[in-house]
Amino acid sequence: MSAAPMTMVGGLNAGLRASLDHDPRVLLMGEDIATLGGVFRVTDGLAKDFGDQRVFDTPLAESGILGTAIGLAMAGFRPVVEIQFDGFVFPAFDQIVTQLAKHHYRSAGHTPLPIVVRIPYGGGIGAVEHHSESPEAYFVHTPGLRVWTPSDANQAYLGIQAAIACPDPVIFLEPKRRYWDKAEVALGTLSADDAERMWSSRTLRTGSDITVVAYGPMVRTCTEAANALAELGVKATVIDLRSLSPLDLDPIFASVRQTGRCVVVHEAVETVGLGAEIAARVVEECFYSLEAPVQRIAGPHVPYPPSRFERHYLPSIDRVVAGVVQVMAG
């Protein structure tokens, strides 16, 4: 494999290109993805190189886009659908949770639907209403869907290929505030074993005092918080979930049994968020190892605010550090 510095947008584009090259059944579809290259230019140049039979624009009708993708998957294709923004996915919610998630089960395993639904999600870009939401809990709660999110460009490059190769429907959540962050991307063919490993958590750094769990846009925030904590003498383990469904919690359990403390961080609303499930599972599995209650650091229970107030809504490095200090004192 060769390595090259790329933004997450570049990593996604390269991963989609690799999948289109590798499998003629892969199709890309969505609003403005062909002529414009998508709102964030993730699909830029792909229609030109692969033609309008494989990369094509759709009407502005999310329910119709998903319904068409489901029909294409039944006919043997592997559609990759782009939803322009997180808040625009809800017109397609019925198709996703009642058709896409259930059809393989409903057909007794005879008709898989290998569809990837790409959704830019989360805040931090100063966007208007319905452009900064974090809807992952809806999809994680739905049996039959896999949910995955990258935290950097290399993970995006590898993860989108693993999602497209997966026989199950995948909700692929792209943290838009990280779209322009650069990282070294290891370009090359993704093996079947590498693709399978993408569904596991990864440990970014190890520490003996506390376990910090995050995913998507919060991974960088938590890594930077861990650097600040190190200056205070607190050694933190940082774990990137990557796969939100299915969850790979064994690395978290192993770490908490060593540290005795755990903090879970996500942008989405705290109430019934993914952090609640992780906290409950950690208590169930690691009760006798815990030195303090599991802490959640997340969005408040309010609609996403206007952009000028979003800095008060989003978990920050300072909030993560303060949460860890609180748990360490517990």
Q: How far apart are CA 279 and CA 24, in angstroms?
A: 42
Helix 274-286 crosses helix 250-259 at what angle (to 10 degrees)?
A: 60
Residue 22 annotated in active site? no
Say if residues 78 and 115 touch (Cβ distance below 8 Å).
yes
pLDDT of residue 9: 98
Express each pLDDT in 84-102 by its tens digit. Answer: 999 999 999 999 999 999 9
Query: 32-62 pLDDT, tens per residue?
Result: 999 999 999 999 999 999 999 999 999 999 9
pLDDT at 117: 98
* pTM for the whole structure: 0.97
* Residue 3: per-residue pLDDT: 85
- Residue type for 188, please? G
- Cβ-based neighbour number of residue 164 at 10 Å: 27
- Compute the distance between CA of residue 277 and CA of residue 267 in angstroms, rounded to an integer: 15
What are the chain's domains? Answer: 2-197 (3.40.50.970), 202-329 (3.40.50.920)
- pLDDT for 286: 98
Q: What is the pLDDT of residue 1?
A: 62
> Which stretches of the chain score pLDDT less than 50?
none
SS (H, E, C) the chain: CEEEEEEHHHHHHHHHHHHHHHCCCEEEEECCCCCCCCCCCCCCCHHHHHCCCCEEECCCCHHHHHHHHHHHHHCCCEEEEECCCHHHCHHHHHHHHHHHCCHHHHCCCCCCCCCEEEEEECCCCCCCCCCCCCCHHHHHCCCCCEEECCCCHHHHHHHHHHHHHCCCCEEEEEEHHHCCCEEEEEECCCCHHHHHHCCCCEEEECCCCEEEEECCCHHHHHHHHHHHHHHCCCCEEEEECCEEECCCCHHHHHHHHHHCCEEEEEEEECCCCHHHHHHHHHHHHHHHHCCCCCEEEEECCCCCCCHHHHHHHCCCHHHHHHHHHHHHHC
C-alpha span between 60 and 82 (Å, rounded): 12
Cβ neighbours for 95, distance < 8 A, ≥ 6 positions apart: 63, 66, 67, 70
Q: What distance in Å separates the CA atoms of residue 25 and residue 80, rounded to the nearest whole number?
A: 10
One of 103, 104, 131, 266 is an active-site residue; which one? 131
